[in-house]
Amino acid sequence: MKPEKALWDRRWWRSPGPDVGSINVLEGCQEEAPATPSLWLLLKGNIIRTAKYNFFSFLPLNLYEQFHRISNSYFLFVIILQGVFPEISTMPWFTLFAPLVCLLLIRAIRDLVDDIGRHKSDSTVNNRPCEMLVGERFLCKKWKDLHVGDLVRLHDTNIVPADMVLLSSTEPSSLCYVETADIDGETNLKYRQALLVTHHELTTIKSMASFQGKVVCEEPNSRMHYFTGHLEWEGKKYSLDSGNILLRGCKIRNTDTCYGMVIYAGFDTKIMRNCGKIHLKRTKIDRLMNKLVILALLSPFAEQICIFVVLISVALTLGFWSKVTGFRTKHYYVPRINVHSLTTESIFILLSFVILLSVMMPMAMFITAEFIYLGNSIFIDWDVEMYYAPQDLPAKARSTSLNVQLGQVGYIFSDKTGTLTQNIMTFKKCCINGIIYNPEQENIYKENPFLWNAFADKKLLFRNSKLLSIVRTNKDKVVREFWRLLAICHTVMVEEKDNQLLYQAASPDEEALVTAARNFGYVFLARTQDSITVVELGEQRVYQVLALMDFNSIRKRMSILVRNPEGSIYLYTKGADTVLFERLHKKDMYRKEQIMKAATEEALTCFAEETLRTLCLAYKKVEEDQYKEWSQRHQEAKILLENRAQALHQVYEDIEQDLRLLGITAIEDRLQDGVLETIQCLKKGNIKIWILTGDKQETAVNIGYACQLLSEDMHILDEEQIIAILEDYQETKNNLPQVEMAAMIVSGEFLPPSSLANQDQLVKSVAVPVLQNKDSNTPQSPEVWQERTFVELACRCKAVICCRVTPKQKALIVSLVKKYKKAVTLAIGDGANDVNMIKTADIGVGLAGQEGMQAVQNSDYMLAQFRFLRRLLLVHGRWSYMRVCKFLRYFIYKTLAIMMVQIWFAFYSGFTAQPLYEGWFLALFNLLYTTLPVLYIGLFEQDVSDEQSLELPELYIAGQKDELFNYWVFFQAIVHGTGTSLVNFFMTLWISHDIIGPISDYQSFSTVMSLSGLLSVTMEVILIIKYWTILSVLAIFFSLCFYIVITRASQSIGLFTVSPTTFPFMSVEQNVLSHPYVLLVIMLNVSLNTLPVLAFRVIYQALKQLPLKEEKAEEVEEVPTEEMAGVPRARRSSYAFSHQEGYADLITQGTIMRRSLVVNKYSSDEDHSTSTDFI
């Protein structure tokens, strides 16, 4: 990726006078300092604001957002109609106003709580302490006080507050070591180095205060590993690159003090540029409820209901117009006594119908849904099975509106370091001379077997008495050289602290290997620029370092050429088995060596199956003449001005031949507890898991095998094969091959070029249906074609691992899957490098890990361990989805069952918008009479227990396929509700037709319809509840009690006397129900609504089981075939080693060295030269 050509200037100088301590920075190319220091206030600050609202904007902005919902606007319109035209209102205006205020208040409080959390997160970050240069001293300030151009002093373990140019440090050559796990996921330490000019000149605070310079750098961008700029000082220009930059979010390690100048602050920093924006997240059910137009998917569900209500109102108004017109034509002799004209009357009738039928879009459904979302979130917080005792961390639902989405996840995008792994490397096994040494159980030892070794590290868990005995006898040459190699061939530095040796390694792998050698008697004690001191079984030996050949991604090995105290020269090499086995001596190989090599290969296979990280160890003796000839060529290659790296590589290649195999080491990159079981369970639930990491490919692949995302029988698609498949697909226009038993492994550089474009544009395109993009299917859109085919091929694979990806690329991969697969995505991580991915995914899960809390602060759900994701999805997610789907279907059914009767009644009331039901029944039907059963379904309903949900992850597939709520289920609810209304109305009408009885009047008929409808929907809720408890019984009981008590109260003589117009139904129900005839009619209506439905469901379930049995029988007989056969592979290499190239040069050049007395402290009385070491 090429850096942008556009550069911008950041000018830094000291202004004289009373403001000597201030630092001034300007953007632009002005040659002179500003006349007034007030321009300093215009500099880019380091304050971060991710909150959505402030004190003044919350109320107007939140109301603006809420009334963008068409349902809220519709409710407000109806309330205005009720208040302005009380004569046409069928119920008091406050019966709708109070629920609307309640709904707005609930959602506003939820948004406020979420935003307060963001304010607290911002405050925590902005108020972190730092030391800033003010005048001629460093004062304690806060991150938010920093501006571009400020000088900052950092100490060991400090987090870098902004992107800075490293000016100097207390380390040799102004080196500074940083840990970037929170940025790119890599666990190995990286080093940064200041320019030599600033290293030599800026040695005191006074020199820094008087320093004048100009930094010209590129515009703020998201490229984490690239930087271009230069420092102009005293008429000279000094080049700056990424090796001179400390990025915000890095942690200073193994460096006492360092100094830097801020060049990017706040949202201009690279990590913040990669964090992305806050996206509005809505569930699939919300989108379905808001998009119920089958083809265009443009009309919201609430709008659908509004349009439906308005259309019905218009149709009924036309019926009124026709009725009145026909009556006047036929009975022209009747005088007109209307106060208003027919047109005016029709408009009033239309508005009356709109008010009357507004209950068909019940506000109670939205209010109840909010309580259901909140309740299910609280259950997540209360789940003791997801409580992590070691850190006292429970699970936390930071968003209350996405619980349903947890039951529909199709893709999980996971970070590796700190998410799947513990970031702890342990020396697990080794194979020496073809013999495997496994760890022994600790309980077999009565005392520590390493007590004889004063340097032993008590934290090392690997113990093997047989190997220890061989080491201490010191008779096996191979064993001796094996441990000697581990003690010598590395770039570890050592310091003494509290009478203990502390190893400072660039990678946890090297630290584990050197610590293992230390416990087995080969103690790395100190090093200088050209020597290494080792204590071997109590004897101190100094080896002269002749050459140190570093690791890199191409060589995959490291070598050291040393002269031992006896004067012999030896080459020690460690690296990948794929490169070392090619360099073993093959001529005149003894049978014993052949057997050893074969045994070692078997051990490699065994270690690979156990997903251990392996390194092969080999050595050889180098003759003096050979060394002199090679040394001359080595010196010539080192001084070349062109192609130096290639020449050195060839020189290294020449010496690293004819090696003798010693053995292999096996290191375990420990997974978090339960990761393996969780991934296997989620895979059974048809959830695909992709690993997105900034780490190296070997490490990521090894973890893929460790958690069984990858298996030995999988065909691994590398980048060349992927290109071949896509090119063949483009040329032949055939379908992509079936790759069910394949896995894709790609790097960030391989991703489609268009995925590196503007993320905001890509994220916006996610919301646009693919069919609307006319260019997407044409040859003129190669980038879109690349994206789509790449995603399609990746989604057909069993597993996908993307390594060396930046935080922004992680988010772009998530966006591509959302765009082309239309699946629910979940991203989980624990570091700042995962924030953008977490924000982009439909659901973001943050782990409260060792990499800070930035991921948690930007997530929707917080977990302490990856294994809790299993219960979050398969139990809480599936339950929430099932509950909300059942709640929605039932709510739609019961609303139509009651309100469609109003439409049928209009045909018999002259289309006059006369309400059939009592006004209080309409107002309280959804708020009280049916609320408790609905709440029970939404909060407590279970189809299976939590144990069964975990044992049968296949049940989760129903949510991915939208089986419980879709267009067909919505249509079923409409038909069912309409059928219930038809039965209740016309059966009662038919029975009471031409009969003078207890239900022949309007009010009695209304009461029978109310009770028939209420009992019918109550019987339906009894049929659909599967998890019966005392709460469900009480919910139904109290709902009926509410109806009885309130109806008796509203129809009492006392209230009728107070307000006859508000309470017109005086003692109607009591009079009607006193007749057994009426009770039989109600029972008949309820039976006709319940028994056929019950019979249909029983028969349907019985018929549904027959095809399933036939399919299972066919599956047993069929032999699965694949179109793309996997190519037989050779033994898999489990090589993985975390290391950064360059440390060897720092050692051999003496750049990294400083004076130390570690050797002298542990040396004998003999005279040894003073060594240098790293602190």
Reading the block at residue 150, the tokens are 């400020």
Token pair 């659909």: residue: 1024
Closest by CA position to 806, among listed 745, 749, 866:
749
CB 1082 within 8 A of CB 1011: yes
- Number of helices (H), then strands (E), belonging to the chain: the values are 40, 36
CA distance 209 to 12: 11
- What Å distances lie between residue 841 and 41, 283, 299, 681, 827, CA to CA? 38, 12, 24, 21, 6
Report yes or no: 433 and 596 within 8 Å, Cβ to Cβ. yes
Measured in degrees and rounded to the nearest 5, phi and psi for residue 842 equal -60, -35
Contact call for residues 899 and 308 (beta carbons, < 8 A): no
Instruction: Pinpoint the alpha helices (H) of 301-393.
Output: 301-330, 342-356, 363-382
- Which residues, in sequence order, are CB contacts of 528 under 8 Å at separation 6+? 1153, 1171, 1172, 1173
Which position has the token pair 């609905």?
934
In three-state secondary structure terms, 841 is coil
Q: What is the DSSP letter of 866?
A: T
Q: Which residue out of 145, 163, 182, 415 is catalytically annotated?
A: 415
The DSSP bridge partners found for residue 689 are 412
Phi, psi of 888 (to 5 degrees): -65, -45
Give the closest residue to 1065 by CA, choosing from 868, 946, 936, 920.
920
Lookup result for tokens 């190989």: 589
Which residues contact residue 1129 at a Cβ distance below 8 angstroms, ignoring those fewer than 6 apart? 716
Q: Verify whether residue 713 is a known catalytic residue.
A: no
DSSP, res 583: G
**Other Cβ atoms closer than 10 A to 1131:** 13
What is the distance, to the nearest Å, from the Cα of residue 920 to the centroid of all Cα atoms in its chain? Answer: 48
DSSP 230-263: EEEETTEEEEE-GGGEEPTT-EEES-SEEEEEEE
Bridge partners (DSSP) listed for residue 561: 547, 571
Q: Are 506 and 542 within 8 A, CB to CB?
A: no
Residue 645, helix vs strand vs coil? helix
Q: Which residues pair with 134 in a beta bridge?
A: 137
Tokens of 971: 């249509």
Residues paired with residue 207 on neighbouring β-strands, in sequence order: none
Q: Report the C-alpha gap between 434 and 662 in whole angstroms.
A: 8
What DSSP element (H or E) covers 696? Answer: none
Contact criterion met (CB below 8 Å) for 182 and 856: no
Alpha helix segments (H runs only) across 445-525: 465-473, 477-488, 508-519
* CA end-to-end span of the chain: 37
Q: How many residues does the chain have?
A: 1175
Residue in 316, 389, 932, 451 with CA at minimum distance from that of residue 673:
389
Look at the alpha carbons of 643, 645, 648, 653 in this order and tell me if their dihedral is positive or negative: negative
Residue 163: strand pairing partners: 264
1159 touches 721 (CB < 8 A):
no
427 — phi, psi (to 5°)? -75, 110
The residues that are catalytic are 415
